[in-house]
Structure 1
Amino acid sequence: MASKVLLGLLATGLALAANTCDVVQDTTSIQMNKRFSIDYTNEQQEYWSAACTNQLKPSCILFPKSPSEVQAVVSILRDNNETFAVKSGGHNPNNYFASVDGGPLISTKHLNEVIFDKASETVRVGPGNRWEDVAKKLDGTGYSAVGGRIGNVGVGGYLLGGGLSFMSTEYGWAANSVVAYELVLANATMITVTAESHPDIHKALQGSGNAFGIVTAYTLKVYQQPAEVWGGHYTFSATTENNKKLLAAVRDFTEYYPDEKAGIILTAETTVGGLLDIWILFVYYNGPEPPAGIFSNFTDVGPLLKSVKKQSYADLLTGNNWAVLRGSVYTIGTEMTPLPSKEHGAEIMESYLDSWRNVSSGVLPVTGLIASVAFQPMPKRLAAKSQSKGGDMLDLDDGIDRIIFEYDYSYWIPSDQPKVDQAMQDTYNGLAGRVKEFQAQDKLPKDAYLPIFMNDGYFRQDYFGRLKPENAALARRVRDELDPQGLWATRTGGFKM
């Protein structure tokens, strides 16, 4: 009997020793930190959503410093059944997409190279960077990379989700400028993916998230840029009259897009009791000063505040970090609409705003809640630019203009999650419902292709189900080729096929 107990204890000890954290610690030199250590605590704070920090606790955090160390971690993961996550900047607020509870978290923090090559007009960028890091390294070179509009956004998840940039109307989605991916596969081997060497994989990586492996480096096409650009933000009061004017302005800006060097995000923000009820317009121009009149439809409304100026691109991105709200549980969702015509624009755009306000009003009493909606123009020329560069998984056609909506709810108390979860679903489903109503009334094109923009997607949304069937099939084919055992499909988060 004693021998059986001893064997049982030995077997249990071996099983426990087989977990990824212990194996990494015992057999490799990879940095590994467990709970309550300084590096563990600091890395856990680098999430935009407090739920990823306070509710989800990895068994350890691994900090590989090279692609070979990433390969070693994947090799260890293959020999157990632990759930895990891979983290770049921690921008994605969906639980388990870049966070994990009880399994190892792989931080790409030390995969942070930024190597500029003027001869090829490219930059090699590690996923551990944030876009402000990339911009600072390129500052003074006369070049910039198509990247995030807020400096604190991480490189990795942003590029794998497509990446909407202030420069997108000039150069397409950020993913359209990825020349090569250095990719660690589920079998722990590594391949370099280009459009020439692996065309299907290259396209699939442009908007399929973390479905195929861990990217340890991106080679990006860079573009000439003046030493200083122009940008910042304007703040407007959310009066009935201002609402009408700003909605008309963003509709017109999207259709008549005055200059491909210009970029905007128009957001509405509100809290309980009207303590905050404003519009914020983020603006950008790829030059030291925009030509007269480009943003006048907005500025003529009469901003309360403005912070626009000539500055380096790196300073612009870093300056936009004020918009990152720390310490709250943060959720994000999205939908898309065809751009309404001038004839029906006021009715439709105001209906969209009303839909958001009606749902938001029901959850504003939630402690600490801030509701916001962003109107993000998707002009035909952006889709055309993307197609000219070989396309991507989203594969927008240039037959119509569109607007992408980003919906955000942030709040303080995790127990309010069920209320906010329902509100988020009601918000994007409410918008989708109104789109269908206007299509049925022949006020919007009925055959419009309206996929989900992954970077803004809520975990409940069917990203792959909204793609064109041939692109969803391509993603499944690449997944089955690269990960036949389903390591990424079954043991980590992200949108699933």
Structure 2
Amino acid sequence: MFSPRVLSASALLSLFMGLVHADTCSVVAATTSIEVGGQLELQYIDEQRKYWSTSCQALKPSCIIFPKSAAEVAAVVNVLKTNNESWAIKSGGHNPNNYWSSVAGGPLISTQKLDQAILDPVTGIVDVGPGNRLDGIAAKLQGTGWTFVGGRIGNTGVGGLVLGGGLSYMSAQYGWAASSVIEYELVLANGTITRVSATQHPDLFKVLKGGGNNFGIVTSYVLQARRQGNIWGGNIVFTRAPEIDTKILKAVRDFTEYNVDDKAAVIVTAERTNVDLVDSWILFLFYDGEVVPPNIFTNFTSIGPILNTFRLRTYADLMAFSNWVVVPGSIVTIATETISLPSSANVDAMFDIHEFWRSQSGSVLLNVTGVIASIAWQPFPKRIAAAARENSVDLIDVDPDADRIILEINYSFLLQSDYAEMSDTMQATYGGIRDRVLAFQAQNKMPNVFLPIFMNYGFYRQDYFARLKPAARAFAHSVAAAVDPAGLFRTRTGGWKP
């Protein structure tokens, strides 16, 4: 058990010098008033449960540290500088990659208590802490007339979402979730606290939008909230059949190219499982307004869903409702690919990719316990890239020259003993999709355009930075080297490194 105690300045200095090479947990507990939870304590056990993947839960940090301010985060960083421990920082724990926001044998910094959401009701500027989850932010802003441009699943943490860019139902209007950040409060690797904006440390301002956890610890996101009242949102569900596959994939292709209403958004997912023999399509529909113009979603609804929960509701209700997608008690793996949108005449390229996914996922449905496989087709029309550029610079820097689709590939399963096999299956799945995209581009069935991968969905074996533009990767590397010369983030915590 780690119990903080108050010491005089001289005693504090003497003790710190004696513990300078000791572990972070002991030093923070002995020399500060920051809450530190040991492995047998309730706050430790509770926080460890709050990962989406049980593989992350199984990694046991030496302690969990719960700072309440940027100054306390800086104090922890100043202790970390004195040793060589591996460590991690956690917002919502929704990234399932082991060691990205989890750690074994080193300290975990939880941002749980950095959960402020302070709104200026006149300007809509809101100070948001990384300890918030999207459903919590939506609930705090409900009734104000303002909303946070966040992700689509309520249980997602703010910190990892925004640092990776963040796709939103409102991205066609406002770009990435990160595009709405106007200032960061950042604790650097040297333990200093700074403010980062377009005019103050502009290099950091850019790399924090899509550069992940390589540059410091964000303790506050100052965001421009957006006006919003009630919205329409929910799901429509289809029983899978080959002819349904064809109609739905054609519909998502056409929506990506032809939809001109930036308030409308869809996510099109196919789900398979060996538990209940589920084989279905589940579509997420969203409209940012109380009246849905006619025919926007007709290409989907006319196919004949067996269930429809699309209705008028508050945004907070939609965020809470969306949490059904989180599968408790499972190991989760997520990967991604980006494809360029084929012409209507070449939509068969999308059919080919989908059939390849069915083949790959089918290979494990019968011999791996509790597998749930899904693929999400997420429109990324050129309007999203344009809106991102209009609102802010970012490291991802997608050109608004072509329509794209971001694919999210998920495998969840029950047994840790299947992790290696499922990792290989995941690599074969996204790798095979990538090979097909490159072949289709060579055959002129898909436009040959820049296709970065989306950090928030990346698998640990994917090389996120290698898929950025070379200049962007070099820029991120130079900024990381400048602000973290000793490698506190680069060598001692997980995540993709530039």
TM-score interval, smaller chain = over 0.9
- Matched residue, 2:55: 51
- Matched residue, 1:383: 385
Deviations 1:201-242 (A, max 9, x none): 10110001000110000000011112x111011111111111
**Aligned partners of 1:140 and 1:60: how far apart in 2?**
38
The worse-fitting range, judged by mean Cα deviation, of 324-333 and 390-399 is 390-399
- Matched residue, 1:291: 293
Contact 1:258 1:294 in 2 (8 A): no
Letter in 2 for 1:250: V
Deviations 1:441-484 (A, max 9, x none): 111123x1011100000011111111011111111111111101
The 5-angstrom pairing of residues 343-382 of structure 1 reads 343-345=345-347, 347-364=348-365, 365-382=367-384
- Matched residue, 1:158: 161
Please state if 1:496 is matched with 2:497: yes
Contact 2:275 2:370 in 1 (8 A): no
Contact 1:363 1:419 in 2 (8 A): no
Q: 2:92 aligns with which of 89, 99, 102?
A: 89
- Matched residue, 2:30: 26
CA RMSD of the aligned region, Å?
Answer: 1.3
Contact 2:20 2:82 in 1 (8 A): no
Contact 1:88 1:128 in 2 (8 A): yes
- 1:272: how far off? 2.6
**Aligned partners of 2:304 and 2:161: how far apart in 1?**
34
Name the % identity.
53
Q: 2:190 aligns with which of 182, 187, 191?
A: 187
Off by >4 Å, runs of 4+ in structure 1: 14-17
**Aligned partners of 1:19 and 1:315: how far apart in 2?**
43
**Aligned partners of 2:485 and 2:368: how far apart in 1?**
44
- Matched residue, 1:470: 471
Deviations 1:58-104 (A, max 9, x none): 00000001111100000000001100000000000000000000000
Letter in 2 for 1:328: S
Contact 2:267 2:376 in 1 (8 A): yes
**Aligned partners of 1:268 and 1:125: how far apart in 2?**
34
- 1:118: how far off? 2.5
- Matched residue, 2:440: 438
Letter in 2 for 1:399: D
The 5-angstrom pairing of residues 5-84 of structure 1 reads 18-54=22-58, 56-84=59-87
Matched residue of 2:225: which SS? strand
Letter in 1 for 2:244: N
The 5-angstrom pairing of residues 306-325 of structure 1 reads 306-325=308-327
Matched residue of 1:57: which SS? coil
The worse-fitting range, judged by mean Cα deviation, of 299-308 and 389-398 is 389-398
Letter in 2 for 1:78: K
Deviations 1:227-279 (A, max 9, x none): x1110111111111111000000000000124100111110000138711000
Please state if 1:252 is matched with 2:215: no
**Aligned partners of 2:247 and 2:393: how far apart in 1?**
35
- Matched residue, 1:394: 396
- Matched residue, 2:414: 412
Unaligned stretches of 5+ residues in structure 2: 1-17
Contact 1:17 1:23 in 2 (8 A): no
**Aligned partners of 2:281 and 2:434: how far apart in 1?**
23
Closer/same/farther in 2, CA of residues 273 and 490 from structure 1, 3 Å limit: closer
- Matched residue, 1:326: 328
The worse-fitting range, judged by mean Cα deviation, of 152-161 and 17-26 is 17-26
Letter in 2 for 1:465: A
- Matched residue, 1:280: 282
**Aligned partners of 1:245 and 1:164: how far apart in 2?**
25
Matched residue of 2:429: which SS? helix
**Aligned partners of 2:322 and 2:356: how far apart in 1?**
28
- Matched residue, 1:10: none
Matched residue of 1:111: which SS? coil
- 1:391: how far off? 2.9
- Matched residue, 1:479: 480
**Aligned partners of 1:87 and 1:274: how far apart in 2?**
33
Matched residue of 2:491: which SS? helix
